[in-house]
Amino acid sequence: MHKRNRLFVSIALMYGLLGGAIAILRLIDPNLIPGNVPRLHGHVMLLGFILMMIYGIALHVLPRFGGFPLYSERMADWQLYAANSGLPLMMGGWLRFSDGWVIAGGILSYMAIVLFGLNMILTVRQRGKA
Ligand code: HEM
Ligand code: HEM
């Protein structure tokens, strides 16, 4: 498995642990963590745990289904950077009620989704051409 894809899966597991801890702390004492904690927990779980896991597994598995290489390893590297700078920014934004941070992080998270989608479409297209 490519080091980057393994990294996606490891990071996903860490976000899962973090998101669970945030929710449990919130249930123990709602004042322990400042900010919009439900939003923070929800997106750490969905963008962090679930989506990063999908990224890591899909980047590994989908090209292998067709027996063709991933269209661009560099695009997938930038996807990793965008996703993992975007989500922390969004988290910071929800912790300090800063819409600006959430917007900036959201744009980066969205860019990661776009890069992933493009890379997957172009990978499958190579298959169509062959
Ligand atoms: C580890 C176990 C989990 C616990 C203890 C937990 C607990 C909670 C609690 C207490 C809330 C409501 C917070 C509030 O309104 O004060 C919540 C909301 C939410 N949770 Fe979880 N949760 C867990 C796992 C997950 C997972 C695995 C996902 C998604 C993959 C998830 C997604 C969400 C979402 C989307 C919300 C709504 C956030 C919002 O209103 O913006 N949770 N969770
Ligand atoms: C591109 C990255 C994303 C950004 C910038 C983003 C931003 C936001 C914002 C600002 C809200 C609050 C909306 C409001 O209160 O008016 C929200 C709510 C929510 N988002 Fe996201 N989000 C993103 C990705 C996702 C993804 C991928 C999922 C699910 C897989 C998701 C699930 C949710 C859920 C369940 C809520 C709560 C809706 C509710 O309380 O009615 N988000 N998101």
pLDDT tens sequence across 104-123:
999 999 999 999 999 999 99
Q: Cα 54 to chain center, whole Å?
A: 8
pLDDT at 21 over 90: yes
Task: Tell which one of 25, 36, 41 to mutate to probe ligand 1, the residue whose CB is within 8 A of the most ligand atoms.
Answer: 41
Q: How far apart are CA 101 and CA 91, in angstroms?
A: 8
* pLDDT for position 126: 76
Amino acid sitting at position 15: Y
- Domains held by the chain: number: 1
Closest ligand to the CA of 113: 2
Beta-carbon neighbour count of residue 74 at 10 Å?
Answer: 10
* pLDDT for position 68: 84
| CA neighbor of 1 nearest in space, from 60, 54, 51, 55 | 60
* pLDDT for position 128: 61
Asked if residue 46 has its Cβ within 6 Å of ligand 1, the reply is: yes
Q: For the segment 44-99, what is each residue's pLDDT rounded down to a tens digit?
A: 999 999 999 999 999 999 988 878 899 999 999 999 999 999 999 999 999 999 99
User: Measured in angstroms, how far is the CA atom of residue 56 from the centroid of ligand 2?
Assistant: 21
User: Measured in angstroms, how far is the CA atom of residue 72 from the centroid of ligand 2?
Assistant: 29
* pLDDT for position 92: 97
In percent, the amount of the chain with pLDDT more than 70 equals 97
Q: Tokens representing 105?
A: 């992080």
User: Measured in angstroms, how far is the CA atom of residue 40 from the centroid of ligand 2?
Assistant: 10
Asked if residue 42 has its Cβ within 6 Å of ligand 1, the reply is: yes
123 and 60 Cβ atoms separated by less than 8 Å: no
Amino acid sitting at position 90: M
HSE on the CB side for 68, CA within 13 Å?
A: 16
- Any idea how long the chain is? 130
pLDDT at 129 over 70: no
Q: Cα 34 to chain center, whole Å?
A: 23
Amino acid sitting at position 112: A
CA dihedral of 114, 116, 117, 119, whole degrees rounded to 10: 120
Give nearest CA residue, ligand 2 atom 10. Answer: 102
* pLDDT for position 130: 58
